[in-house]
Chains A and B, each alone.
Chain A
Amino acid sequence: MKTEDLKNSQEYKYGFTTDVENIRAPKGLNEDTIKFISNIKKEPNWMLEWRLKAFNRLKALKEPNWQKPKYPKINYQDLYYYSAPKSSSEKPTSLDEIDPKILETYKKLGIPLDEQKRLNGIAVDAVFDSVSVATTFKDELTKKGIIFCSISEAIQKHPDLVKKYLGSVIPLSDHYFATLNSAVFTDGSFVYIPPNTRCPMELSTYFRINASETGQFERTLIIADKGSYVSYLEGCTAPMRDENQLHAANVELVALDDAEIKYSTVQNWYPGDENGVGGIYNFVTKRGACRGKNSKISWTQVETGSAITWKYPSCILQGDNSVGEFYSIAITNNHQKADTGTKMIHLGKNTKSKIISKGISAGKADNMYRGLVEVKNKASNSRNYTQCDSLLMGNKCGAHTIPYIKNNNSTSTIEHEATTTKINEEQLYYCNQRGLDQEEAVSLIVNGFCKEVLQQLPMEFAVEAQKLVAISLEGSVG
């Protein structure tokens, strides 16, 4: 067992651990573990049955192996599936009840939870290992009928909504990791925006992995009812450890008629050290259904962390005139691997999708864009535009683009553009000649390369994301 913190933590500033006493489920993936989770969360029986059904399906499934990044076999029986700070066994009802060590943790991460110092105009749900420890601005949101709470709380307090929508976008036995998540998911956020309501602030969840040998199985469900709008952002960090930790999340979005969901991710899980030891396996299923007419779902992701990132935030464009967007920056350095992209499934008429992907690869890293655009036969007059740009830094990294295109409707058009460039020595020289050092120059050029995606992020996070882009590439050019 190697769970000590690694000391050379200059690059990854979120690599610390918080020393709190935990309640854990015994190791191992079995019915008892699932019952333990369901029980400790005081779930109604239907939820436990749902979980057990998923677990039964899981037995027949195999881990997918078509993806490019390979990883050593995961021993699912040697993992903890539930770990929560003891102090949170009853979810604190006020901040005074939260363990000060946890408050301190979030403060260090730049997410103050206390009343006076809260981020302006941003409501935060803080998930620490397997539980949500705090949700801010709840009262203000409740006044508008908006529900923003942990999924655990929603299961208890809003069972009708959860029953109706949970698993409606990602079916129970979709694939191995999604099904695993359905069986053992622990916490995540739940959002419901009532009809004709514009959510007055950014909603965000901050995921933190703290405990060792523990998988994090996040479950998030966002429903935007008719004519509503919400912008949601998630951030992620984890301590530096020389073990690999699994984060297998399921995120489901549902947009009804004329509704819009904007979902942004800044993923900065611990990427492993420069020799490729440790880091998070970020195996995530994210899917949104544009169920109503004129609905819109927009995914923006800035992926800089994790040893392996493997995710394809997707849009199912069911409603006529619905719109799906995917804006992505994936940065891989050292030994990181990313296989990421999106799926745009056009079902309704006049549906539109847009994909802008910027992959940046440095060190010995490997970066893959994999995306599917499928136009079904009833989706007349639909359009897709895809642009995939890759930037290589150095000679030892790789970039790949695999677009899958299926067009079954002759009135629809799919456009795909792709470029691969190396960071240009002449541009660097030009910047150096103007007084910028190598790191400033790289940061400037790379942020320029990513601009179309960075622009999509909510203002408050764009600046942070720019810095993160620069930090992730530090030391990558001679």
Chain B
Amino acid sequence: MLNIKNLEAKVDNKHILNGLNLDIKPGEVHAIMGPNGSGKSTLANILSGKNGYKTKGEIKFDGQNLSELSTEERAQKGIFLAFQYPLEIPGVNTNVFLRTSLNSIRKARGEKEIDTLSFLKLVKEKSSELGIDEKFLSRQLNVGFSGGEKKKNEILQMKILQPKLAILDETDSGLDIDALRIVADGVNSYKNKDNAFLIITHYQRLLDYIKPDFIHVLSKGKIVKTGNAELGIELEKTGYTNFI
């Protein structure tokens, strides 16, 4: 589904990614761990099409060259990023945002807009699965939401938009123990043989709930080690010093 070859990226002449390779197949869960500043969020941003990076190398998504697609086209084709720091948009009702977003994606897929009743039903179902009070959805998008609430809201969006590739950038940071379990359950219940996850995290505890097929260690813009779920447990004990 996703093939990254020799990806390099720089911002203002600062090299951030230095020849990164990664292949993700449908049905797989990949975790990326690595020290602060190693380039994890940068990778997520480049995959989702954020402006401002100079890149070299190749990224293919379902065989298509990603560099040809705008941010919204990538989203419409099924790439979803749960932001490390979700943005606040004052004056915009969360429900309205969700619906506008869903309709943009449906439109791009040649489907018709969702009607009000079906939308409300969908939102009700997904938000109750995540234990999100419906009152939240009539509030302004992320404005005044607590850190954990913002993260849950990202997962709600994921479940409504139904992406093929979901990139979660430190979604677990800031979640309390119960919320962590709820979010993990949310991911596990969404996971199937046709979609894939790229999970960026600092903590093994998330990976206790969501079993990754692969764990990659990113350091200075490169994957320096790839292993299976065991690697996380080892990292938890020894830290990154053995690998970087």
* Given the contacts A429-B50, A429-B71, A432-B72, A437 and B89 also touching, CB distance less than 8 Å: no
Q: Which B residues touch A408, using CB under 8 A?
A: none
Contact with B along A261-285 (1 / 0, CB 8 A): 0000000000000000000000000
B88 — nearest CB in chain A belongs to which residue?
A: A427
Instruction: Say whether B89 contacts A448, CB under 8 Å.
Output: yes
Bound form: Cα–Cα A434–B78 in Å: 10
Judge whether B104 and A434 touch: CB under 8 Å.
yes
Apart from A430-B89, A447-B92, list 6 A-B contacts with CB within 8 A: A432-B75, A433-B48, A434-B157, A435-B108, A440-B100, A451-B92
Q: Which of A424, A436, A447, A451 has the most CB of B within 10 A?
A: A436
> Contact between A435 and B89 (Cβ–Cβ < 8 Å)?
no
A165 at the interface (CB under 8 A from B): no
Known contacts being A435-B104, A435-B108, is A430 close to B75, with CB within 8 Å? no
Task: Please report which residues of chain A, range 410-464, place their CB below 8 angstroms from some CB of chain B when the two chains form the complex.
Answer: 424-427, 429-438, 440, 444-445, 447-452
Q: Given A432-B49, A432-B72, A433-B81, are A447 and B104 also a contact pair (CB < 8 Å)?
A: no
Number of residue pairs spanning A and B whose beta carbons lie under 8 angstroms apart: 73
Contacts of A429 on B, CB cut-off 8 Å? 50-51, 71
Distance between A331 CB and nearest chain B CB, rounded to angstroms: 15
Q: Which A residues touch B76, using CB under 8 A?
A: 435
Q: Is B83 an interface residue (CB 8 A)?
A: yes
User: Which of A426, A434, A449, A450 has its CB near the most chain B CB atoms (within 10 A)?
Assistant: A434
Q: How far is the CB of A445 from chain B (nearest CB, A)?
A: 6
Residues on B with C-beta less than 8 A from A448 are 89-92, 140-141
Could you give 26 example pairs across A and B, Cβ below 8 Å? A427-B89, A430-B89, A432-B49, A433-B80, A434-B75, A434-B161, A435-B72, A435-B75, A435-B104, A435-B105, A435-B161, A436-B72, A436-B100, A438-B72, A444-B92, A444-B97, A445-B92, A447-B91, A447-B92, A448-B90, A448-B91, A448-B140, A449-B90, A450-B91, A451-B92, A452-B91
Query: Is there an interface contact between A451 and B91, defined as CB atoms closer than 8 Å?
Result: yes
Q: Which residue of B lies closest to A429 (CB)?
A: B50
Give the size of the chain B interface in residues (CB under 8 angstroms): 30
Per-residue B-contact encoding for A98-141, CB less than 8 Å = 1, 0 else: 00000000000000000000000000000000000000000000
Say whether B86 faces chain A, with CB atoms less than 8 Å apart: yes
Q: Which residues on A are within 8 Å of B, measured CB to CB?
A: 424-427, 429-438, 440, 444-445, 447-452
Asked if B70 is at the interface of the complex by the 8 Å CB criterion, the answer is yes
With the chains together, A433 CA to B80 CA distance in Å?
A: 7
CB distance from A450 to the nearest CB of B (A): 7
Q: Does B101 contact A (CB under 8 A)?
A: yes
- Is B177 on the interface with A (CB-CB < 8 A)? no
Closest B residue to A448 using CB positions: B91
Q: In the bound complex, do residue A426 and residue B104 qualify as a contact, i.e. CB atoms below 8 Å apart?
A: no
- B90–A430 contact, CB under 8 A? no
Interface majority SS (helix, strand, loop, mixed), chain A = helix
Contacts of A437 on B, CB cut-off 8 Å? 70, 72, 104
Report whether A427 and B104 are in contact in the complex, using a CB–CB cutoff of 8 Å: no
Interface set, chain B 50-65, CB cutoff 8 A to A: 50-51
- Distance (whole angstroms) from the CB of A369 to the closest CB of chain B: 19
In the bound complex, residues from chain B placing their C-beta under 8 Å from that of A436 are: 72, 100-101, 104
| A102 CA / B96 CA spacing, docked (Å) | 39
Distance in Å from the Cβ of B156 to the closest Cβ of chain A?
A: 12
CA distance A438 to B108 in the complex (A): 14
Residue pair B86, A430 in contact (C-beta under 8 Å): yes
- Measured between C-beta atoms, what is the minimum distance from B91 to chain A in Å? 3
B117 at the interface (CB under 8 A from A): no
Determine the distance from Cα of A424 to Cα of B92 in the docked complex, in whole angstroms: 14
Q: Provide the residues of chain B in CB contact with A426, threshold 8 Å.
A: 87
CA distance A369 to B37 in the complex (A): 44
On chain A, the residues within 8 Å of B104 by CB distance are 434-437, 440
Q: How far is the CA of A437 from the CA of B103 in the complex (A)?
A: 12
Given A447-B92, A449-B90, A449-B91, A434-B50 contact (CB < 8 Å): no
Interface flags for B188-225 (1: CB within 8 Å of A; 0: not) read: 00000000000000000000000000000000000000
Q: In the complex, what distance in Å separates the CA atom of A445 from the CA atom of B72?
A: 16
CB distance from A126 to the nearest CB of B (A): 34
> Given A449-B91, A450-B91, is A435 in contact with B83 using a C-beta cutoff of 8 Å?
no
A430-B87 in contact (CB<8A) = yes
C-alpha gap A437/B83 in the complex (Å): 18
B91 to chain A: closest residue by CB: A448
Residue of B nearest to A436 (CB): B104
